[in-house]
Amino acid sequence: MGFEFGAHLVRLGILKATSDHASIVSINLFVALLCACIVIGHLLEENRWMNESITALAIGLLTGALILLTTNGKKSHVLMFSEDLFFIYLLPPIIFNAGFQVKKKQFFRNFMTIVLFGAVGTLISFFIISFGAMGLFRNMDIGLEIGDFLALGAIFSATDSVCTLQVLNQDETPLLYSLVFGEGVVNDATSVVLFNAIQNFDLEHIDVLIALKFLGNFFYLFASSTFLGAFAGLLSAYIIKKLYFGRHSTDREVALMMLMAYLSYTIAELLDLSGILTMFFCGIVMSHYTWHNVTESSRITTKHAFATLSFIAEIFLFLYVGMDALDIEKWKFVKDTPAKSIGVSSILLGLVLVGRAAFVFPLSFLSNFTKKYSGEKITFKQQFTIWWAGLMRGAVSIALAYNKFTRSGHTQLVANAIMITSTITVVLFSTMVFGMLTKPLIRLLLPPGQKGITESFTSEFSAPLLENVPGFEAEGGGQNRNLFRPSSIRMLLSKPTHTVHYYWRKFDDACMRPVFGGRGSVPFVPGSPTEHSFHG
């Protein structure tokens, strides 16, 4: 397996060696670079311009340049970007950890706003980028078809908010962090679902029926992917709760959680569903049920193991992108038309800026219009931060672009080469320039002394209000208040999100936790995973 994995990575060509030896060399190179990224990232932790993502990207670019120099520019395949390597090996741990570590209370409290930004906003950005490119590229004689323009809309609607999330702190700014984080995950899933839906339809002869089928397929993929992830999480919770693996081996608990999560992702990919959505909701369900059914040592192990795998995969991805950017096979096709390539990149970058602004500010206004208390509303500074967070494009955009415009990492068509090099240019520019400005921008907009003002107001003022609003229980539950409870319709109209949350908690406590376990709902059985907690 190591040799197969190494074959996906780097082919140096410096040594006349066997393929096995080249694979070992490539693995050693990447492990050394990962170590360098971690050490340098730690040393630059307090730097106002750099973060680990930009550091890894810069090291990847520098390494690729050095290898090209040592081979006199003859070896173009410094790194073969493989969509399979990205989607099958690197993306799953990142998405799963995102769902596993998310603060569910904040995420679902702002769920409607997150869906507005992540799903509706992505659709708005998709249409603006697609039809904007269609109009602006018309006179450039690139040779793209309608399916290519729609694919571009999906490709450049996929955000990468890693740089912003590395600066934000979910304890200091829980509202802003949950919005940026939640929107990023839903956005990636929506972009991939859109891309897959476009690939499955003949868009050359589009009519009303095809458009309706397209929308139906989109919502089917979204719903079925979510259901599969939740089902896999519940199944793992039920198995671990009933069989009590922890009596004999905590390793089996950890292994079963990892394998069940990965199995849900691979099944989603096998069924042509969205593995991102499946993995994300599997992580949420596992953290809500399965994690509380395992032993204390397994809880600590899984928490740190998932976070570590996600961290390594993220650093690896930026190294991957940085080195692949210098693959001269792609650039040689556009060397005769550099002005056209620069023009395409500039137009796409401008459409990304406009498409992002076209939904962040209007949808923020719409979200604020439905909020009753000022502490729950999104301020203009927070809106600007959300807009900025989604300007960066990353590995998802590159993977989708390679999937559409290349075959096995290669292309022989000038139009496809222009699209690939333009995607790489936009990703590098947005990550390096916008990413480097992220930390000073957030310090300017949200100074450390003021970061918690709005958030503390929300948590200290809104939370007590929620506890005293008729029909709502405190998050801790347990105490019954003799308060007047209005009708369900009145509650839903006055506070829809909190009403859904209230009834979900009642259903969860009454039906779900007794069957699937979870915090405080797993009965004590000698030798069971909860034994340590009860005696503690």
Q: Write phi, then psi, for 96 (nearest 5 degrees).
A: -65, -45
- Residue 10 pairs with which residues in a beta bridge? 79
pLDDT tens figures, 310-335: 889 888 888 877 887 777 777 777 77
DSSP for 441-495, written as a single string: HHHHHS-TTTHHHHHHHIIIIIHHHHHHSTT---TT--PPP------HHHHHHH-
Which one has a higher pLDDT value, 76 or 27?
27
**pLDDT the model gives residue 2:** 41
Q: Scan for tokens 């602006």, then name that residue.
A: 136
DSSP string, 188-242: HHHHHHHHHHHHTS--TT--HHHHHHHHHHHHHHHHHHHHHHHHHHHHHHHHHHH
Domain ranges in the chain?
1-39, 83-445
Bridge partners for 410 per DSSP: 407
d(CA 414, CA 402): 14
Residue 367 pLDDT greater than 70, yes or no: yes
| pLDDT greater than 90 at residue 262 | yes
Which fold is adopted by the domain 83-445? Na+/H+ antiporter like fold (1.20.1530)
**Mean pLDDT, range 378-407, rounded to an integer:** 87
Mean pLDDT along residues 193-197: 83
Q: What is the pLDDT of residue 410?
A: 58
SS3 call for 379: coil
| Interatomic CA distance for residues 402 and 82, integer angstroms | 8
In angstroms, rounded to a whole number, what is the distance separating the alpha carbons of residues 80 and 13? 13
Mean pLDDT of 450-467: 41
Res 24 pLDDT > 50? yes
Span 189-198, average pLDDT: 84
Average pLDDT over residues 152-176: 82
* Whether the Cβ atoms of residue 316 and residue 70 lie closer than 8 Å to each other: no
Using an 8 Å Cβ cutoff, are 192 and 274 in contact?
yes
Q: Is 492 a residue whose pLDDT tops 70?
A: no
Q: Determine the Cα–Cα distance for residues 411 and 420; give it in Å rounded to an integer.
A: 9
The confidence band for 454, taking pLDDT boundaries of 50, 70 and 90, is very low
- Stretch 126-138: mean pLDDT, rounded? 91
Distance between CA atoms of 161 and 114, rounded to whole angstroms? 14
What's the confidence (pLDDT) of residue 282? 94
Q: What is the pLDDT of residue 286?
A: 93
* pLDDT at residue 45 in the model: 74
Task: Kindly state the average pLDDT of the residues 62-84.
Answer: 73
Residue 449 has pLDDT above 60, yes or no: no
pLDDT category of residue 4 using cuts at 50, 70 and 90: very low
Average pLDDT over residues 359-385: 86
CA angle at residue 453 from 496 to 437, to 5 degrees?
100
Percent of the chain with pLDDT over 90: 18
